[in-house]
Chains A and B, each alone.
Chain A
Amino acid sequence: MLTVERYDTMAEAAGAIGERVHYLAGGTLLMRAVNYGYPGIDRVVRCREVPREIRTDTGGIRIGAGATMADLLASREVEFLHPVARLIGGPAIRNMATLGGNLFARSPYGDLAVTLLALDAQVIRAGGAAEPMESFLAARDRARGLVEAVIVPRVSAGEFRYAKVTRIKPKGVAMMCAAVWLRGAGRPSDPRIAWGNMGAGPLRAKAAERALNGASLDEHGIAPVLAACCDGLDPQDDELATAWYRREVAPVHLKRLLLGGRR
């Protein structure tokens, strides 16, 4: 029988999380599971204190885990994330879905987590411990406690590129998505590339990152990047596409993203 527990502070709520005990944030993932009687939920934890502020902090911009997609879209601080948040769900979902929830969303969801992986964001847990997004995502299924915030570096619009490949307009789930942090206004310097739905979770394309380092952003310059763009990825067959198709078109979409044109 499902029970709901209510806490005043993040610290208390974090202590309550455990096996078969889940935290309720925006509800877009958890309530769906509750509605369908998913057997892995015994208790739902609510917290009165919901960190959702977005503010400048040491090392970048601190975004409270409770910030919704609508909060991100209302903030000029994180304008570079708007192209990502805008394509998540419809308006109602964007009023509900939180950054914290997105970090735990399974494919085909979790576009924001892909973006934060590309941007080398830091995850701040309730209690203050910080961890790089990459190791956090790799271990998220075993994670305990609560995420309190994310710190994302401040990037200019020109050095971040994002593409969500979906067949449904204006809003569909991602067959795949790609986030690229070029880092720098000229030639990419130590760039990062992350893919969504090209594996079990958000994944970096590290061979392609190395090929992109210092490359000129033209057809010739990015050819080695495209050749390596699926190295280390593990796309699967699912409802939206086959692994074969994903591998075939990933370079196409990355090429269009890097060259800047839609097609």
Chain B
Amino acid sequence: MAIHKGRGFAAINYPIGMNLGGDPAQALVHSTPDGKFKVALAAIDLGQGMKSVTRQIAAEAIGVPVEDVYVDTADSDTGPHDMGSFASRGTHRVGNAVIRASAEARKQMLEAAAEELEVNATDLDTDGRGNIHVKGAPGRSITVAETATAAQFKQGRTLAGRGIFLIPLSDTDPDTGEMTPVTCFAHAALVIDVEVDDETGEVEVTEINSAYEVGRALNPRLVEQQLIGGAWMGVSHALYETTEPYYPDRSHAPVDFNRYLMPGPGQIVPHHIAVLERPAEDAPFGGKGPGEMCANPVLPAIANAVYNAVGVRCDRLPITPEKVLRGIRANGGAQPKGRR
């Protein structure tokens, strides 16, 4: 009987968004009469932070404090069309649509302010704290709130913007099959340490060291949160979760969360993350998306670590104790591969 330590590595290039139909996203922005801005989206925040990030993006692009922006998501009755929350596309696709909508709203805001200040709109700038001023002359200014009130009640003008982001569908070259399926990738590399019990086949993940490249981290705490939680989900997929434990035999599907296994709070894995920021050219303020790829590379890294520990190559998920034990038996015992 022995506990075998193993280490596995995996790297990933993860495409942001889909190519199907160009994967468009839309956003609508409008102001209230007191100079707050509402962003209407049909895009859905399931907890990934898209609502926070699009709020930051809108505030930055309009030039107002983030507190003055409200993002209304997830209602396809009131928000303009969106493809959905998948493929790590939220920040990139929706963020770009928000930038376009915000730019139009900002233009109208500056025009309304210019009329009040009797200057050219091109001479105006925002301070991000709720004021609009003449460039080089901060004293000649008007608040966003005053501007919005004037636009609404005096000028009869909307401060609103429409935005859509669409990457043209890439055709396939009939001769070579070549195409451009995506415009930007996120990247990650992980080293995962495990311990494998060669009598029971149980695998315990003991440490994760990772580097994630996500473009500019628009909200670093949210990025870190998503990477930690996503990697946990990767561990869960790799070792525990299945709706059909004996697939393709469909019997014994779990009927509750006591039998659909996920690691508990007593199995928190120390996870050390390095976030690398290489802003993408076509991304909103350079931000790509951590999304799915925070979980995906965990799976092959664990599979590799198990192989390294006991010499068992599992190519079906999840890597259950039974699969590991059967592999050890088939090999005539654990065959640690050692460190190279």
Chain A residues within 8 Å of B, Cβ to Cβ = 108, 167-173, 237-242, 244-245, 248-249, 252-253, 263
B240 engages A167 (CB within 8 Å): yes
Partner of A167, one of B245, B246, B253, B321: B321
Interface flags for B236-261 (1: CB within 8 Å of A; 0: not) read 00001000011000011111001111
**B262 an interface residue at 8 Å Cβ cutoff?**
yes
Could you write out 23 A-B pairs with CB less than 8 Å apart?
A108-B259, A168-B263, A168-B267, A169-B264, A169-B266, A171-B264, A172-B261, A238-B252, A238-B259, A239-B252, A239-B254, A239-B255, A239-B259, A239-B260, A240-B259, A240-B261, A244-B322, A245-B325, A248-B325, A249-B201, A253-B200, A263-B3, A263-B197
Q: How far is the CA of A239 from the CA of B255 in the complex (A)?
A: 9
**B199 an interface residue at 8 Å Cβ cutoff?**
yes
Closest 7 CB pairs of A and B: A169-B266, A170-B266, A239-B259, A245-B322, A173-B258, A239-B254, A168-B264
Q: How far is the CA of A263 from the CA of B1 in the complex (A)?
A: 9
Partner of A252, one of B200, B246, B252, B260: B200
Q: How far is the CA of A173 from the CA of B120 in the complex (A)?
A: 71
B245 engages A168 (CB within 8 Å): no
**8 Å CB interface, B296-340 against A:** 320-322, 325
**B174 an interface residue at 8 Å Cβ cutoff?**
no
Q: How far is the CA of A237 from the CA of B250 in the complex (A)?
A: 12
Q: How far is the CA of A237 from the CA of B245 in the complex (A)?
A: 10
Nearest chain A CB to B182's CB is how many angstroms away? Answer: 37
Residues of B within 8 A of A253 (CB): 200
B200 engages A169 (CB within 8 Å): no
Interface flags for B68-94 (1: CB within 8 Å of A; 0: not) read 000000000000000000000000000
Q: How far is the CA of A164 from the CA of B126 in the complex (A)?
A: 64
Nearest chain B CB to A178's CB is how many angstroms away? Answer: 14
Nearest chain B CB to A123's CB is how many angstroms away? Answer: 26
B261 engages A249 (CB within 8 Å): no
Nearest chain A CB to B269's CB is how many angstroms away? Answer: 12
Q: How far is the CA of A170 from the CA of B264 in the complex (A)?
A: 7
Residues of A within 8 A of B245 (CB): 239
Partner of A242, one of B200, B259, B322: B322
Q: How far is the CA of A241 from the CA of B325 in the complex (A)?
A: 12
Nearest chain A CB to B328's CB is how many angstroms away? Answer: 11
**Taking chain A's interface residues, is the majority helix, strand, or loop, or is none over half, making it mixed?**
loop
Residue of B nearest to A241 (CB): B322
Nearest chain A CB to B265's CB is how many angstroms away? Answer: 7
**8 Å CB interface, B164-209 against A:** 197, 199-202
Q: How far is the CA of A170 from the CA of B263 in the complex (A)?
A: 9
B259 engages A249 (CB within 8 Å): no
Residues of B within 8 A of A252 (CB): 1, 199-200
Residue of B nearest to A248 (CB): B325
Interface flags for B149-169 (1: CB within 8 Å of A; 0: not) read 000000000000000000000
Residues of A within 8 A of B251 (CB): 237
A169 engages B197 (CB within 8 Å): no
Q: How far is the CA of A66 from the CA of B269 in the complex (A)?
A: 39
Residues of B within 8 A of A244 (CB): 322
Which of B253, B265, B322: most chain A CB closer than 10 A? B322
**8 Å CB interface, B258-293 against A:** 258-267
Q: How far is the CA of A231 from the CA of B217 in the complex (A)?
A: 59
Q: How far is the CA of A170 from the CA of B252 in the complex (A)?
A: 24
Residues of B within 8 A of A249 (CB): 199-201, 321, 325
A169 engages B322 (CB within 8 Å): no
Q: How far is the CA of A189 from the CA of B87 in the complex (A)?
A: 63
Known A167-B202, A238-B252; judge A108-B265 contact (CB<8 A).
no
Q: How far is the CA of A240 from the CA of B245 in the complex (A)?
A: 8
Residues of A within 8 A of B261 (CB): 167-168, 172, 240
Which of A172, A244, A263: most chain B CB closer than 10 A? A172
Residues of A within 8 A of B202 (CB): 167
Q: How far is the CA of A237 from the CA of B252 in the complex (A)?
A: 8
Q: How far is the CA of A249 from the CA of B324 in the complex (A)?
A: 12
Q: How far is the CA of A253 from the CA of B197 in the complex (A)?
A: 12
Nearest chain B CB to A57's CB is how many angstroms away? Answer: 34
Partner of B258, one of A172, A237, A241, A242: A172
B267 engages A169 (CB within 8 Å): yes
Residues of A within 8 A of B197 (CB): 263
Residues of B within 8 A of A245 (CB): 201, 321-322, 325
